[in-house]
């Protein structure tokens, strides 16, 4: 633990709020910067909250100085893949250009450590459905490209300055805080687990399975689902690693195995105790049959070991949070 502050951009959002909570519980001094365009003020349970945009260089510079920040964890981003295809400039403006402004402010303020929220979308459709950190990056949508460009900027800045970083490439994040304090409240969400839980509780009239003829055991797409709490712990371990003098690196964050769409739906049905309204449809363009992380590097580099690697547990926490939202 350090007496310096940690700036968590996008810390009122789904993943950022879980990381901010874990950092605060570890005794860190947390400052959350969020414009609340998709985040929720009530998700910030500890620390100092600053409402504003990462693209606001004056605000960022003042925040870094006022709160004596030496570490930035950067989550603020647009994340909806179909939207990135229909409005690519929105994603390059917010995910890439705003990140460039943030990095410049970090350089000028002498920030030492930077943990970046990246994505498996940088790989596109890897051969065989398995992605290692050295798998060629070939994003197939502006979302993935915007994140990869940010990785490149971070790499180059680290080479030209004293800033060191860890870029974490997320696979499919799911679940919510097991204690039920915070969760995924995103409106019009596209992540399967949340959509399935919404369908179970009648918030959606149906759940659509896109593609049932993939070369997978049950014909539906297979993804590597990771509980958001395990993902948050990877960020804490990344911070420990940087504080201990670790070199800049890029790491996958997943469990190293996958579940199919049907398996996720069945898990939600078990937790809910009733079938979901499901409709089958054609494949979506660009969806790989399988996308699974190879996770040897993060386990070795960060000494990271997940604790919630169980689909039923992931779904139970997601459904519990969705039920809580119903009564709020």
Q: Which of 170, 177, 188 is nearest to 314 (CA)?
A: 177
Burial class (CB in 10 A: 0-12, 13-18, 19+), 270: middle
Kindly name the residue from 143, 214, 225, 259 that is annotated as catalytic.
143
Nearest C-alpha neighbor of 7 from the set 56, 65, 92: 65
DSSP codes, 259-323: EEHHHHHHHHHHHHTS---EEEEPPPTT--SEEEE--HHHHHHS----S---HHHHHHHHHHHHH
Q: Which long-range contacts (CB under 8 A, 24 or more apart) does 299-305 make?
A: 301/241, 301/246, 301/249, 301/251, 302/166, 302/234, 302/237, 302/238, 302/240, 302/241, 302/251, 303/237, 304/233, 304/234, 304/237
> Alpha-carbon distance 110 to 103, whole Å?
10
How far apart are alpha carbons 218 and 72 in whole angstroms?
42
Active site residue 92: no
* Enzyme catalytic residues: 143
């Amino acid at each position: 633990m350090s007496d310096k502050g940690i700036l968590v951009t996008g810390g009122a959002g789904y993943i950022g709020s879980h990381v901010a909570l874990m950092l605060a519980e570890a005794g860190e001094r947390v400052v959350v910067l969020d414009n609340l365009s998709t985040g929720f003020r009530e998700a910030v349970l500890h620390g100092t909250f600053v409402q504003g945009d990462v693209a606001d260089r004056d605000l960022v510079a003042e925040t870094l100085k006022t709160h004596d920040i030496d570490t930035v964890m950067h989550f603020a981003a647009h994340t909806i893949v179909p939207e990135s295809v229909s409005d690519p400039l929105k994603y390059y403006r917010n995910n890439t250009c705003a990140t460039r402004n943030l990095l410049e402010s970090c350089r000028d303020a002498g920030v030492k450590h930077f943990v970046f929220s990246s994505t498996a979308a940088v790989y596109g459709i890897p051969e065989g459905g398995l992605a290692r950190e050295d798998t060629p990056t070939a994003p197939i949508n502006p979302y993935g490209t915007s994140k990869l460009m940010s990785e490149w900027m971070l790499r180059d800045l680290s080479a030209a300055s004293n800033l060191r970083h860890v870029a974490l490439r997320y696979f499919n994040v799911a679940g919510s805080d097991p204690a039920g304090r915070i969760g995924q409240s995103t409106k019009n969400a596209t992540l399967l687990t949340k959509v399935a839980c919404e369908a179970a509780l009648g918030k959606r009239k149906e759940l659509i399975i896109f593609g049932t003829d993939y070369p997978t055991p049950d014909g539906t797409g297979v993804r590597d689902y990771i509980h958001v709490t395990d993902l948050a712990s990877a960020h804490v371990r990344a911070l420990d690693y940087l504080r201990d003098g670790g070199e800049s690196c890029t790491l996958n964050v997943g469990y190293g195995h996958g579940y199919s769409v049907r398996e996720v739906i069945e898990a939600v049905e078990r937790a809910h105790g009733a079938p979901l309204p499901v409709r089958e449809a054609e494949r979506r363009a660009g969806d790989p049959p399988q996308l699974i992380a190879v996770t040897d590097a993060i386990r070795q580099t960060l000494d990271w070991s997940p604790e919630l690697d169980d689909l039923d547990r992931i779904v139970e926490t997601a459904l519990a949070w969705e039920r809580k939202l119903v009564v709020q």
